[in-house]
Amino acid sequence: MKQLVASDLDGTILARDHDFNAKDLSVFKMLGENGVVRVVATGRTLQSAFRVLPDDFPIDYLVFSSGAGIYCWKTKKLLKTCHLGYKKTKDVVEVFKQFHVEYTLHHPIPENHLFFHPEGNDPHPDFERYLEFNHPHAEVINGSVPELDYTQTLAFIPDIDTYKAIEKQLSGVKVVRATSPIDGVSIWMECFNTEVSKANGILEVCRLEGVDAINVSAIGNDYNDLDMLTTFKRTFVVGNAPDDLKRRFTILKDVYQAPLMDWKERFTSF
């Protein structure tokens, strides 16, 4: 039966300030040779993924922006997009304003690396780092939200209690918790269309490729991987994942120690 392997990117097979592990790349190549569908499912935008994935990276599909878009790696074609939209974005912004958190509003795919943001009086340190890193793509707004078919919002949250309080006030959107890839600690809140998830993106690839969901293996490292980790049966987290995730899922070696190779050697017959 046809199989599919989906892996998160940052913190799972790609460590900060490191290249991909050659052993992990060899596993992806071996899977392709054996007819296994290979998917990277990431929170990165399409343009951000392009920065770290070379054209010949050995995968078949990229599920990006946490499932808001699907891209065929072989044909270099955008297959599907799902946006939050203007009205829902305005509603989310009103909640963010109540809690005085910094946020960004991302343009429609494939330009969702571009974003608007308000000018904060006392900005979250990770928000400042995010702006510094993405300065060429940022545009300041003051007052009303420009009318645009937004892909998502991103808020920088000071603590988990504030996160939970904001989440209670939001409705009609998909809320995703993520750990900042910039400092590895700060809490991010991403809001998407309710149809968006890494799991749904992978399921769409399953439909395209004729793969039964029971034959999916998924590997992640953080809270934004939870929907795919809880949707599929064969799920794993790497050793650098938060402790509460490691208590729930099978643990592989950490991102620096070739977790894909660890998975292959322990859980496959290839």
Rounded to two decimals, the pTM is 0.95
Both 47 and 98 in one domain: the answer is: no
Q: What is the domain range of residue 158?
A: 86-192
Q: What is the CATH number of the domain that holds 43?
A: 3.40.50.1000
Both 170 and 37 in one domain: the answer is: no
* Terminal-residue alpha carbon distance, the chain: 14
Both 77 and 91 in one domain: the answer is: no
Both 172 and 245 in one domain: the answer is: no
Both 249 and 230 in one domain: the answer is: yes
Q: Domain boundary residue among 130, 164, 192?
A: 192
Both 41 and 170 in one domain: the answer is: no
Q: Which pLDDT belongs to residue 216?
A: 98
**Cα 175 from chain centre:** 12
Q: Domain boundary residue among 159, 192, 225?
A: 192
Both 101 and 164 in one domain: the answer is: yes
Average pLDDT estimate for 235-250? 97
Please tell me the distance from the alpha carbon of residue 265 to that of residue 24, in angstroms, as a whole number.
Answer: 11
Both 168 and 212 in one domain: the answer is: no
Q: Between 45 and 122, name the one with better pLDDT.
A: 45
SS3 content of the chain, % helix, strand, coil (to 5): 35, 25, 40
**pLDDT tens figures, 141-152:** 987 899 999 999
Both 132 and 159 in one domain: the answer is: yes
Q: Domain boundary residue among 166, 192, 218?
A: 192
Q: Tokens representing 60?
A: 């078949």
Contact 69, 35 (CB under 8 A): no
* Residue in the structure block whose two tokens are 């891209």: 71
257 burial class (0-12, 13-18, 19+ CB within 10 angstroms)?
middle
Residue 176: phi, psi to the nearest 5?
-125, 125
Average pLDDT estimate for 76-95? 98
Q: Which pLDDT belongs to residue 143?
A: 76
Number of domains in the chain: 2
pLDDT at 257 over 80: yes
Q: What is the CATH number of the domain that holds 165?
A: 3.30.1240.10
Q: Which pLDDT belongs to residue 150?
A: 98
Both 110 and 175 in one domain: the answer is: yes
> What value does the mean pLDDT of the chain take?
96
Please tell me the distance from the alpha carbon of residue 241 to that of residue 110, in angstroms, as a whole number.
Answer: 30
Both 170 and 220 in one domain: the answer is: no
Both 108 and 181 in one domain: the answer is: yes
